Structure 1
Amino acid sequence: MVKLYLDPGHGGSDPGAQGNGLNEKDITLDIALRIRTILLNDYENVEVRMSRTSDTAKSLSARTNEANSWGADYYLSIHCNAFNGSAQGYEDYIHSSLSDSSLTANYQNIIHAEIIKENELVDRGKKKANFHVLRESAMPALLTENGFIDNGRDAALMKNAAWRQKVAQGHANGVAKTFKLQKKPDNSGTIYKVIAGSFKSRENAEERVSYLDTKGIEAFVDSRNISGEVWYRVQAGAFSTRENAEKRLVEVKNAGIDDAFIAAEKRDSNEAGGYSIAGRTFLSPEQMNQFAKSINPNTPELGHFYLTFGQDYGIRGDIAFAQALHETNFFRFTGVVKPEQNNFCGLGATGPDNPGASFQTPSEGVLAHFQHLFAYASTEQLPDKYPLIDPRFNLVTRGSAPTWTALNGKWAVPGTNYGEAILNIYERMVEFALVKLEGILQEIRT
């Protein structure tokens, strides 16, 4: 197992270099989070711990002490540069005491070459310096300077999310090549979906889902546009092998659904990755709340908590909100968990005799939700901005579910379609937001 300590430079009250409306601390964090996602999603036998996953301050000594105590195999520090507006390009550093034939220099050679392939920046070369993180880290260490934030050309690239993804990919490629990481098995092949009915009416589809639930079969509604018409398919499982799909099909037909069938489809990129749990929240609190209220007008306004804690923990707050909608039946609390528990994600709820955890306020309930997601998605130390209130945090196998679909069978048991059901709600949220936006634009135009 390779242990990478990933250090986004600066943070909190220390913005780092500034220029062209950008702060170094924001660029470095974004790139580092992308590096982590690529490595954890695409490679086997790698652990990643980050010095920070949100806009928090951390001293240099705290960073190197943490990496040393953890026993990291490699220290990778992400930075941006600044000079006088005229300098531009990429460079990286190892400690000045090291020879060109050292192991650290060899690692630098490999990673430098991979980053330069991707980053579209002028190559300023491989360098040495007496930086703290290079001097005080007990393992090989590299500090990368990804462009000059006060240079117009470099800054224009930094503002582009696609460029930051390419930079992250270059770093990840370099780490993978350096430590000979093995790619995870390709999940881009065929997926076998068990379809338990297709309806013109969403209400009829929801009735079918409810019926299957009484038979102990998890299902959800998936809308499809076919020949210009919207159809609502009831999906009762998605499997990577046809054999497992056939077993589920038998269960569905034994439940009385004679028209059930298997649809063999090519996985798309979202299904293959299941969306990373870590990442940026795209929908606003208003968009989350409005979608929920369109289904249940009595929905509590929790969107701002899901945005705030999502930013603090580096987790997709809008998809976490969709998970809360799934768990609470759009805050109608029709299961064993009751509204007064402020338990929006079903923490610890296993049945009528055990309705799960309770929290004093809605804010604490949402915070516990994010801490539990963090436990599944990350192997890093929990950020210390808030106290640990998730009573089941230490029961989770850390880092065992970096994507939403990886929660299947973990957050919910048997949970065959748990992640897919959450993502289906999220995609409906996005569609709802886009329709609302289009309506506003129409009003503006008229």
Structure 2
Amino acid sequence: MKLYLDPGHGGTDPGAQGNGLDEKHIVLDIARRIRNILTDEYENVTIRMSRTDDRTVSLNQRTNDANEWGADYYLSIHCNAFNGSANGYEDYIHSSLSDSSQTAEYQDIMHEEITKVNQLRDRGQKKANFHVLRETTMSALLTENGFIDNEDDANLLRDPSYRQTVARGHVNGLVRAFNLERKQDPGGTLYKVIAGSFQSRDNARSRANVLRSRGIEAFITTVTISGTQWYRVQAGSFSNRQNAERRLQEVRNAGVPDAFIVTENVGSDNGDTDNGDSPQPDPQPTGYRITGVTYLSPELMNQYVRGINGNAIEIAGYYLTFGEYYGIRGDIAFAQAMHETDFLRFTGIVEPEQNNFCGLGATGPDNPGASFDTPREGVMAHIQHLYAYATTKPLPEDYPLVDPRFDLVTRGSASTWTGLNGKWAVPGNGYGQSILDIYERMINSSIDNLEDVRQNVREA
């Protein structure tokens, strides 16, 4: 299925404005999230976007591009505005189409799935003579996701977790309409120990600090339930249920009797931990993004490395924990560490006792780079350094800054692993490709051995 994804407006055309928000930024963020969910989770979907950053693209350029590319479906993402009093969601197909047309059938499905989750007043399914609906040769739908000049709608739209929910609603409609198949999950099931949910971030931070003071790793994630944002304290992720149960008991012994376990399939999406007030555009990357979900479990990553280096210490759990917290692909970061350390054999200039798994600051024999007190701190520094390259957002506050070179990075200058070429490693030709090669080999090894791992877990 070839999807042409069209975030409206852009560049010199901000679109609708209100409550400190510009439509062009909101819809670009939603469109990116749609693209990322489809790319990460579904087979046989090719996506082309009319714009991937804040640039001006004419209506003719958009529809001509989609027609020449031969898209199967055109999806245009917008927000509405009127006089501040109107609110809600609506969608459009072209006014010439009958209610029994294929395009109308797609609209029925999309409308149903989007309105199931978007928490907005349903203004109905409509028809109009919009350019993008009239000049496209394929079925096309334009969605109006709330009124940006309405305070209630705008408060939802400025929440990243809400925009993720809107994107998921669009994806759910596309999955039904085009019978999309989910990708095979190489990572299995994760069991996450939740040590409390709070509407106050300060209360969540206090709970996390208490657990850390008792030697239990904990960090804060966000989840939106029935339109309300909650701050969850997460105290570990495990692919082995029994290990999760043991951690749960530790948390309860630490004074949290209402702790519980959440079961997730790796690769599922449960909201966005981004705490920014408004989406900011960045260039569209190609290839694997540095930010995103960690797919491989720590057990599988550690198992793969032990097959190469039987004396390797186990650090994959830290890559999952800090990868999840900072929104960084912890499994690919782990592959980068294996590339930098020769699978933890440390055959280069960095010594094992430095706990420097990514070569931070190492330039030669006279400068072997940074040192960290523990493997945990070394992994945290690695993830923070990737965060600096991949985003322009402020560093979350729940962990201290331990990366000594964080402020030396040009923020947001590499959103993909191949974008690290010439930056992390100089000249670095093929650096990112080497990391991804290790990652692909880990995936293949994990798929080959997944049944054996699951059998061992069942017998444990």
TM-score, normalised by the number of residues in structure 2? 0.53
- The question of whether the paired residues in 2 share the 8 Å contact of 1:104 and 1:140 is answered with yes
Matched residue, 2:158? 159
- 1:347 pairs, out of 429, 435, 438, with 429
Matched residue, 2:109? 110
CA displacement at 1:240 relative to structure 2: 6.8
Structure 2 Cα separation of the partners of residues 53 and 159 of structure 1: 19
Matched residue, 1:281? 391
Structure 2 Cα separation of the partners of residues 247 and 85 of structure 1: 57
Q: Deviations over 1:283-327 (max 9, x none)?
A: 459x9xx9798259xx9x551xx43x56xxxx47xx888x46983
SS of the counterpart of 2:162?
A: helix
List structure 1 runs of 4+ shifted beyond 3 angstroms: 238-248, 259-273, 275-280, 282-285, 290-293, 323-327, 410-414, 416-420
CA displacement at 1:37 relative to structure 2: 0.7
Structure 2 Cα separation of the partners of residues 292 and 261 of structure 1: 20
Identity in percent: 49
- The question of whether the paired residues in 1 share the 8 Å contact of 2:299 and 2:316 is answered with no
Structure 2 Cα separation of the partners of residues 113 and 181 of structure 1: 17
Residues 241 and 136 (structure 1 numbering): CA distance in 2 closer, same or farther, change over 3 Å?
same
CA displacement at 1:249 relative to structure 2: 2.6
Matched residue, 2:129? 130
Q: Spell out the pairing of 1:322-337 with structure 2 (5 A cutoff).
A: 323=420, 327-328=424-425, 337=426
Structure 1 Cα separation of the partners of residues 71 and 440 of structure 2: 36
AA aligned to 1:174 is: G
Structure 2 Cα separation of the partners of residues 111 and 44 of structure 1: 19
- The question of whether the paired residues in 2 share the 8 Å contact of 1:41 and 1:273 is answered with no
Residues 46 and 226 (structure 1 numbering): CA distance in 2 closer, same or farther, change over 3 Å?
farther
Matched residue, 2:274? none
SS of the counterpart of 1:415?
A: helix
- The question of whether the paired residues in 2 share the 8 Å contact of 1:189 and 1:266 is answered with no
Gaps of 5+ in 1: 192-224, 231-237, 329-336, 338-342, 350-406, 421-446
AA aligned to 1:347 is: N
Matched residue, 1:252? 309
Structure 1 Cα separation of the partners of residues 394 and 300 of structure 2: 42
SS of the counterpart of 1:120?
A: coil
Matched residue, 2:8? 9
Structure 1 Cα separation of the partners of residues 17 and 44 of structure 2: 37
Q: Spell out the pairing of 1:296-445 with structure 2 (5 A cutoff).
A: 301-303=408-410, 306-307=411-412, 315=415, 323=420, 327-328=424-425, 337=426, 343=427, 346-348=428-430, 410-412=433-435, 414-416=437-439
- The question of whether the paired residues in 2 share the 8 Å contact of 1:100 and 1:106 is answered with yes
Structure 2 Cα separation of the partners of residues 20 and 243 of structure 1: 47
CA displacement at 1:248 relative to structure 2: 4.5
Number of matched pairs:
286
- The question of whether the paired residues in 1 share the 8 Å contact of 2:3 and 2:47 is answered with yes
Structure 1 Cα separation of the partners of residues 318 and 175 of structure 2: 31
Residues 419 and 27 (structure 1 numbering): CA distance in 2 closer, same or farther, change over 3 Å?
farther
Structure 2 Cα separation of the partners of residues 260 and 152 of structure 1: 52
Structure 2 Cα separation of the partners of residues 243 and 75 of structure 1: 39
Structure 2 Cα separation of the partners of residues 264 and 37 of structure 1: 25
SS of the counterpart of 1:35?
A: helix
Matched residue, 1:66? 65
CA displacement at 1:241 relative to structure 2: 11
Q: Spell out the pairing of 1:205-216 with structure 2 (5 A cutoff).
A: none
CA displacement at 1:161 relative to structure 2: 1.2
SS of the counterpart of 2:438?
A: coil
AA aligned to 1:415 is: I
Matched residue, 2:184? 185
Q: Deviations over 1:147-196 (max 9, x none)?
A: 111111111111111111111110011111110101112345269xxxxx
Matched residue, 1:150? 149
CA displacement at 1:19 relative to structure 2: 1.1
Structure 1 Cα separation of the partners of residues 47 and 140 of structure 2: 14
Structure 1 Cα separation of the partners of residues 423 and 126 of structure 2: 52
- The question of whether the paired residues in 1 share the 8 Å contact of 2:302 and 2:316 is answered with no
Residues 184 and 19 (structure 1 numbering): CA distance in 2 closer, same or farther, change over 3 Å?
same
SS of the counterpart of 2:48?
A: strand
Structure 2 Cα separation of the partners of residues 108 and 247 of structure 1: 46
SS of the counterpart of 1:294?
A: coil
